[in-house]
């Protein structure tokens, strides 16, 4: 069963739309929770929630692990940011899979190159 180009556009559109909406919802819940506990919307991220010193993947993993200890307002806000940053990464990953399945080596390699650049960039920051 082959997926047509128009179907790829639809899949990518869903990935981007769902990623942004889920991220927005998590951010809204985190901000609402923050306001309910502090009665302020002036969010002050402590060093625990800043990405300095870690790469993005370590930061994302740490954010997910922190949710296992119990969701805090800042962990939910951080999760929303992680989800927003992962969304375009998943879009490129979907393109790599699609072009590989469709046996289109030219676009599979181009997508794989873009995925590599994104991965290196996220690993470096």
Which three-class secondary structure state does DSSP give residue 117?
helix
Note down the domain range covering 59: 5-124
- Share above pLDDT 70 across residues of the chain, in percent, rounded to a whole number: 86
What is the per-residue pLDDT across 28-46, written as a single tens digit (0 to 9) for each? 998 898 889 888 777 776 6
Per-residue confidence at 98, pLDDT binned at 50, 70, 90? confident
Q: Between 46 and 82, whose confidence is greater? A: 82
What is the chain's alpha carbon radius of gyration, rounded to the nearest angstrom?
A: 17
Number of separate domains in the chain = 1
Element counts in the chain: helices (H) and strands (E)? 4, 0
């Amino acid at each position: 069963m082959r997926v047509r180009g128009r179907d790829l556009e639809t899949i990518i559109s869903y990935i981007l739309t769902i990623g942004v909406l889920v991220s927005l919802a998590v951010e809204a819940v985190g901000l609402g929770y923050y306001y309910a506990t502090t009665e302020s919307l002036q969010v002050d991220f402590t060093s625990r929630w800043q990405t300095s010193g870690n790469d993005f993947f370590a930061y994302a993993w740490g954010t997910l692990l922190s949710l296992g200890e119990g969701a805090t307002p800042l962990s939910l806000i951080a999760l929303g940011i992680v989800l927003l940053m992962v969304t375009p990464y998943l879009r490129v990953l979907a393109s790599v899979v699609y072009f590989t399945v469709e046996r289109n080596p030219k676009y599979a390699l181009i997508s794989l190159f873009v995925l590599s650049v994104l991965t290196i960039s996220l690993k470096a920051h």
